[in-house]
Every structure is written in structure tokens, then in C-alpha cells.
Structure 1
């Protein structure tokens, strides 16, 4: 898509976001500690139709921040096809994660954190706001979800 193309409809943008959630493997995860020091890492994820599931060690900065703040902003890597997701975080120890989420994560990524020798937690991110746009001409109408409700 270029700036000369017609902007996508909100319905098309939502379809494109949902498609990306199904096919992408990595997402940028932004968090901050209690002093506001930011942390940005890429993590594998799986989408279950309502939430993204990720896994990381609970003692690293991202794990600590997500556990303490319970909020994150997620972004996909392409700057010409922007998707930003603000979400609320629930933390699940590897022995408490719902089996369906852990199995879906393993099936998509090929890795089962529950079987790793290190301790991992799963982070369930429920979107509360979603924005999507291609180039400047799609900035109007970029908000697709607010307060956890799809606008389209």
C-alpha cells in the first residue's frame, strides 16, 4: 500500500489486524518499571481470539514490569503497516496457565516454556485499545477498539 492508494475502510483494517494476529509470530512488548524506565523487547505470542499469550522469565525486566504494572503496549515491526495494541495483563505461572493457551503457544512457536529448565510465566494480554494505519493518509480512523470494544 502507498500513500496514493485509497485508505482502507475500518472493517478492512480490523480484518487486517486479526489476520496479523493469526499469522505473525513476534510482537514488540513495551513496559515500564515503577520509576518509568521503559523496556522494549520482542516476544513470541499466540492469539486465542480474545487475548495474546506470551511467555518470558518472571525475573527479567519485562516479566517484572508486566507483573507489577499489569499494562503494556504491543506493536508489530513494520513501520509502514502500524498496529498498536494497548492491553491489560494477567500473569500465569507455568504450572497454572490454561492448558489450551500453553498448547497453542507450543504449537505455534515450537517451544514449551513449561518444559524448560528455567522458570517462565505466561502473560495474557487482553486488548483494550487497537490502532492500525498505513502511512499518514490513514491516520484518520486509526482507532479500531476503545475500552475493550471494537468500534467496527
Structure 2
């Protein structure tokens, strides 16, 4: 759903939220990525991503704040959508170099986004984000029950 007019009149079921969240992960190209450094300084950037069915794959330079923060702490929040229809993932990231990345992951990422970080600047690295918590809601009536995954396990 992309507009207020297409929103249901009441809260969606957890099953419907999960279904729509998975559709979003499969079709969207960009995600807001929130990280923080060791002092707590926040960083929020949009990045291209690919969802493999279990993990979100990101690529960014290891020298920029997001790359440094992900490599140091591994803690990340990902936000898909907008404030009135959001999928929020709290996850754990692990860094992979170009050499460590499985070719099929890089190929799928490039096919989805039309950009291949492997052919860009050598400072690009990859991050596999494993969801710990996934939440989905549209507005106040859906705040209750918005958590669909906890500790990496689907609740629905």
C-alpha cells in the first residue's frame, strides 16, 4: 500500500502485515539505514538493498560513517516506507569484503538495483543484516501487535 486511500479501515491482521512486509522487502530498492558511532553520534542514510528471504544485504564504503559504524558495532535499524506505513527492522550486521561475498549475492543485488558495487570503488564492502526484530504498522490502531518478529523468529 502506498497511499492513505488504500489503507484498510481497521487494523490489519498480523498475517496480513507479515505478507505485506515481505512484499515490501522483495520489491523496494532503497532503505533508510540508522547507525551510531561509539559516542552515540547518529547517522541516517538511504542505501540500496537486496532481501534474500532471510537477510537484508547492503553495500557502502568502509570509510564512511555508516560503514564504520556497522563494522564496529554491527547494530542497525532499517526503515522501509514512510511514517504512515512502515516496516522497521532492528538487526545485526556482519561485514564481508568483495572477496568474501558469494558471487550469487552480488549478482542478485546488482540485478535488482541496476548498480554493482563490485565494479565501483574498491572501498565498497558488503553487510549482511540479520533481522532480530521486525515491526510493521500504519497508524495508532496498529501499534498494538506491531512486532511480527522477535529474537529472529517470526511470531506469526
TM-score, length-scaled by structure 1: 0.96
1:85 aligns with 2:89: yes
Q: What's the CA shift for 1:77? A: 3.5
Alignment-derived partner of residue 130 in structure 1: 134
Deviations 1:108-135 (CA, angstroms, capped at 9, x unpaired): 0111111113420011100010011011
What TM-score, normalized by structure 2, do the two folds share?
A: 0.93
Aligned pair count reads 152
Pairing of 1:71-110 with structure 2 (within 5 A): 71-110=75-114
- The unaligned stretches of length 5 or more in structure 2 are none
Where structure 1 has 5 or more consecutive residues not aligned to the other structure, the ranges are: none
Structure 1 residue ranges, 4+ long, deviating more than 3 angstroms after superposition = 1-4
* Contact 1:94–1:119 under 8 Å retained in 2: no
- Residue by residue, what CA displacement relative to the aligned partner does 1:58-106 show, whole Å, maximum 9, x if unpaired? 0100000000001100001411101110001010011211111111100
